[in-house]
Each structure stands twice: as structure tokens, then as C-alpha cells.
Amino acid sequence: MISSESGPPPRLGSLTFHSPLSEARASRMVGRLAAANPADVLDIGCGWGELLLRVVAATPSASGTGIDVDGEDLARGRALAEARGLADRVAFVEESALGTGRGPADVVLCHGSSQALCDPGQPYDLAAALGELRRLVRPGGQVVLGECFWERPPTDEELAGMWPGAHVGEHTSLGTLVDLAIAAGFRPAWIETATAEEWEEFESGYRYDTELWLAAHPDHPLAAETRERVDRQRSTWVNGYRRVLGMAYLTLVAVV
């Protein structure tokens, strides 16, 4: 038994990136973006902005802005910026990305956050999100989009094992995703997809600290609800979208 005074379960402490992105892939992305010597970088749905911080650090003349609605993640980003000597060049802002006026920028990052550019009261519209990304980047600038796609059409059983309300129309194929990006005014300069190993690192890292906490604190007042949440999250992966849902990383150049 432990005291009810014990702290809450940890959150995402084992993740460097909030997506299935390896250090090696991130390093290559940053190198390609920094080579263009961007003046400014805008991160949509930035979380704690790890990739944003790395691009700015690799480009001494650049400044960056990350926007998100999660205050806890933004606080982590500010602490990271301070620790790396980037606090004077990177701002983390708590606000919605919907209709944002913070562009255009030379580089726009949007990893797993394109829904932040769409009206939450309407069905998700990938074409509309891509149109917003084109609005937010200068002609000739680059967007790095992390977007889910179906590796193959999911079966009814797999859909039933995913998140509530999961359906085939939520995502496209990789080919359709690339075609929509071209239609929005981009050229796809680099197309890559997360590997099975990157997904496993991400999915396990997403829950790692919390699983250790649950094992050590089974009687904590928050243990039951935390256990239910973590078990549900894990089940949606191993019983639902594992090896079905892919993550594409597209480096898109805005047509002049």
C-alpha cells in the first residue's frame, strides 16, 4: 500500500518524438531542412517541439514558433529550449492552429497534427488540411508532414479492435495522400514511411513509464483509471492497427 499523497503517473517521459520517428530518420530530415537555410520554422501541433528545436539549432540564423493547445507539452518544450540555449529563438504558444495567421514560414512542420488545421465540428478533410499547409509556407519553402495512411485496407475485425468509431474512410492509401499533396500545390521531394521498428519503439515508449508506475503502485488512487486507459491504448495497437496503419513522412516543396 502507498499513501494517497504519492504523485500522479508519469506521462510520455520515454518519448523523444511524439511519433514513430527514429533518431536516424530525424537527423536526416533536419539535415535536409537546414541545408535550405530557412529564416523561420513553424510547427503545427508541436507538442514539446523536439524536431522544431533541432531544426532551429542546426540553422543558426533561424527562429521558430510552435503552437499547440496542450500546456503541459508546451512547458516541456520551453524547458528544453532553455536547456539548449534556444529560448531566445524559439517560442512555444498555447493556441489553436485553426485559421492561424502565424505563417507564412520557410519551413512548416506538422507531424500527426493535420487535424488541428480542420474545423473540429466537421468531418476530417485531408485535402483542406493540405490546403492550409500550402497557405502557411512560402513559395519554394518546405513542409514536413507526418500523416497516417493505411498500409492495406483494414478488416472489420481490425477496425473493431481500434479506437471507437474507427472506419476505413479515416485514412487514405499512401498513393492518394501523395496525390492530394500535389493537388494542393506541392511537389513531393522526399517520401518515406515509418518502419515496424519505429512503430514498436513509439508504441512501447508511449506507455513505458506508466507501465512501470502501475507495477510499482497498484493501490494508488489513480491506478484503476490509469490501468484501464493504458490497457485500452495498448489493445488498440496490438489488436487493431499494428502493421495496418502506416505513418508517412513527406517533405513537400511549395510550388512557386
Tens of pLDDT along the chain (256 residues) come to: 334 446 788 889 899 999 999 999 999 999 999 999 999 999 999 999 999 999 999 999 999 999 999 999 999 999 999 999 999 999 999 999 999 999 999 999 999 999 999 999 998 999 999 999 999 999 999 999 999 999 999 999 999 999 999 999 999 999 999 999 999 999 999 999 999 999 999 999 999 999 999 999 999 999 999 999 999 999 999 999 999 999 999 999 999 9
Residue spans of the domains in the chain: they are 23-196+246-254
Q: How far is CA 79 from the centre of its chain?
A: 19
Cβ(181)–Cβ(252) below 8 Å: yes
- Sequence-separated (6 or more) residues with CB below 8 Å from residue 48: 18, 73, 74, 76, 77, 80
How many whole angstroms separate alpha carbon 136 and alpha carbon 230? Answer: 36
Please compute Rg for the chain using Cα positions. 19
Per-residue cell: 37: 537555410
Q: Rounded to the nearest 5 degrees, what angle is found at the Cα of 28, between the Cα atoms of 70 and 201?
A: 55
Determine the residue type at 125. Answer: D
Helix extents (H) in the chain: 23-35, 50-58, 71-83, 126-136, 156-161, 174-183, 196-216, 223-236
What pTM was computed for the model? Answer: 0.94
Nearest to 191 by CA among 183, 199, 200, 182: 182
Report the topology of domain 23-196+246-254: Rossmann fold (3.40.50)
